[in-house]
Amino acid sequence: MKILAIGDTVGEPGRKIIQSLVPQMRDKEGIDFVVANGENIAGGSGLTPQTSQELLRSGVDCIMSGDHIWDKREILEIIDHEKRILRPLNYPQGVPGRGAALLTSRKGVTVGVMNVIGRVFMRESFDSPFAAAEKAAKELREETPIILVDIHAEATSEKIALGWYLDGKVSAIFGTHTHVQTADERILPKGTAYLTDVGMTGSYDSVLGRNVSQVLERFLTQMPKRFEVADGNVQMHGAIFEIDEKTGRALSVTRVQRKI
């Protein structure tokens, strides 16, 4: 089966290009399952019930997130009962929502998905993503051999280390958060596909999806500044993972960079 993982989606430009491209890719390229990191889909920070539904109606099967999951408080209205929206698995116990789920692909195949967040250079303190991911992988594997992991982290070393730690335990692990696609896609020795960062979906005439002049002003003056979402040169970046449905082993991983 083919799985499309879409990088950090920023604001309305990111949502619109997904609405345009994902249905086409599902039909023309035989994409069976789609995940997207959506923690920045609502005005560039956070997500809401309305913006989440826009992505889900566009053909996205699961929305991952990260440290901006709570930036829009409205998400608390649905996160407990909408299992297609994940917050990082390694938040402390008692936090609303879930970090892993079993979902169904277009062909009726069960897919295990999980979202973990790194600890290196991140603002908050989290439980170990290594322990949390290993435990969840073991539980998900009781139901399906096909397991995807979004590691939302700053440090490339932490992402790579988690890739090696989960090799053979999951089908694919891909990074988000830095908004810059890396070129290190590979299949690890025990059959897990890996990519350090799948990139960003939004304006590339920007600084990580935000207005260039506003970000420059912040860097030059160190004064607080609200960053608006940029809208020029919109692209969708991600990766396509081909997975053996019987074994859960990765067959290939291909980076994606698309414009409308």
Are β-strands 147-152 and 172-176 bridged in parallel, bridged antiparallel, or unpaired?
Answer: parallel
- CA–CA gap between residue 17 and residue 47 (Å, rounded): 17
Set 68, 177, 179, 237: catalytic member: 68
| 81/78 Cα distance (integer angstroms) | 6
Question: Which helix (H) or strand (E) segment is 22 a member of?
Answer: helix 11-29
Integer Cα distance of 84 and 250 in angstroms: 23
For residue 127 the two structure tokens come to 């439980």
- Catalytic annotation present for 68: yes
Query: Which phi and psi angles does 74 have, rounded to 5°?
Result: -60, -25
HEC string of 184-237 equals: CCEECCCCCEEECCCCEEEECCCECCECHHHHHHHHHHCCCCCCCECCCCEEEE
Within a 10 A sphere around the Cβ of 102, how many other Cβ atoms? 15
Token pair for 25: 């890719």
Q: Which distant-in-sequence residues (6+ apart) come within 8 Å of 141 by Cβ? A: 112, 147, 169, 248
Phi, psi of 42 (to 5 degrees): -105, 95
Residue partners of 213: CB distance under 8 A and separation at least 6: none
Residues with a catalytic annotation lie at 68
